[in-house]
Amino acid sequence: DIDGVGHKYHLELELEDVLDKDSTVNCTAEVLYHLGNKNIAPDVQFTLEGELKNTDEADNVFYNRIKSLEKELVAENIPDNYGNVSPEMEPIHLLAWVASGYVIWQNSTENTKFQLAQIKHVKQVKRSDEYLEFDYKILLHEMLTQEIIPWQMTVLWHPQHGVEVTRDSRQPKQA
């Protein structure tokens, strides 16, 4: 408890590679939830105790595959209703996961617990530069209210420059 500022949490985490369960990295972090104004994202400071795996090869394969498509990529329902993700869509799914992490962070309070539930729709946006751009419509699941919240996010990615969410907005729930 920090008077007049907010609540600070000190965390010791173990990060596990989603694609390789045996690969883990320890991490310490400090999260500060601000008092009062719930519209400010919590402050996060972290230190990785080790290195993250190098993904250059897979990144480049994916990058080149998308770059060589004649038509912009479009897809829906990832995973599908049965939980399946096709191998070609796996990187699109992972990218959404990373990007949704940013959206979740920006919208988290001490009383929320968000998860990405599903990608409803993804559309690649043509760009003249080297970046890949995707317009995602995702569904976030919030644990406390059990709500499914539609969200739009525009995601930029480049193998050397990483992920950036350039625009995101909560969408109205469909009737």
Partner 1 sequence: DQVLHIVPETFQQVQHLQHLCNTLLLDLWKPLLPEDIWAGEDLHIRVPAPLVQEVKDSLDQYTISYRVLIPDVQELVDQSMPRERSSHRQVPEGYVYTQYHRMEEIYQWMTQIQKSNSELVTQHYLGKTTENRTMYYLQISQPSDKIKKIIWMDCGIHAREWISPAFCQWFVKEILQNYRSDPKIRRFLQNLDLYILPVLNIDGYIYSWEKDRLWRKNRSPHMNGTCYGTDLNRNFNSSWGSIGVSYNCSSEIFCGSGPESEPETRAVAQFIKKKKSDILCYLTIHSYGQYILTPYGSTTRPPSNNEELMHVAEMAAAALMGKYGTSYKVGPTSLILYSNSGSSRDWAHMIGIPFSYTFELRDKGTHGFVLPPDQIQPTCEETM
Cβ-based nearer residue to partner 1, 82 or 126: 82
∠ CA 108-109-114, nearest 5°, is 45
Cβ proximity of 34 and 45 under 8 Å? no
Task: Using CB under 8 A, pick the residue from 118, 133, 153, 155 that binds partner 1.
Answer: 118
Q: Decide: is 79 part of the binding site for partner 1 (CB under 8 A).
A: yes
Taking CB under 8 A as the rule, which mask of x and - marks residues 148-167 in contact with partner 1?
x-------------------
d(CA 73, CA 132): 11
Task: Using CB under 8 A, pick the residue from 44, 64, 147, 163 that binds partner 1.
Answer: 147
Q: Decide: is 18 part of the binding site for partner 1 (CB under 8 A).
A: yes
Q: Decide: is 117 part of the binding site for partner 1 (CB under 8 A).
A: yes
Please report, to the nearest 10 degrees, the dihedral formed by the alpha carbons of residues 28, 115, 162, 67 taken in order: 160
Cβ-based nearer residue to partner 1, 119 or 156: 119
Q: Decide: is 22 part of the binding site for partner 1 (CB under 8 A).
A: no
Cβ proximity of 133 and 93 under 8 Å? no
Residue type for 122, please? V
Strand partners, 132: 157
Q: Decide: is 139 part of the binding site for partner 1 (CB under 8 A).
A: yes
Task: Using CB under 8 A, pick the residue from 14, 82, 126, 172 that binds partner 1.
Answer: 82
Strand partners, 125: 133
Identify the helix (H) or strand (E) that includes residue 60. Answer: helix 56-67
Residues in contact with partner 1 by the rule CB under 8 A: 18, 70-71, 79-85, 115-118, 139, 141, 143-148, 173
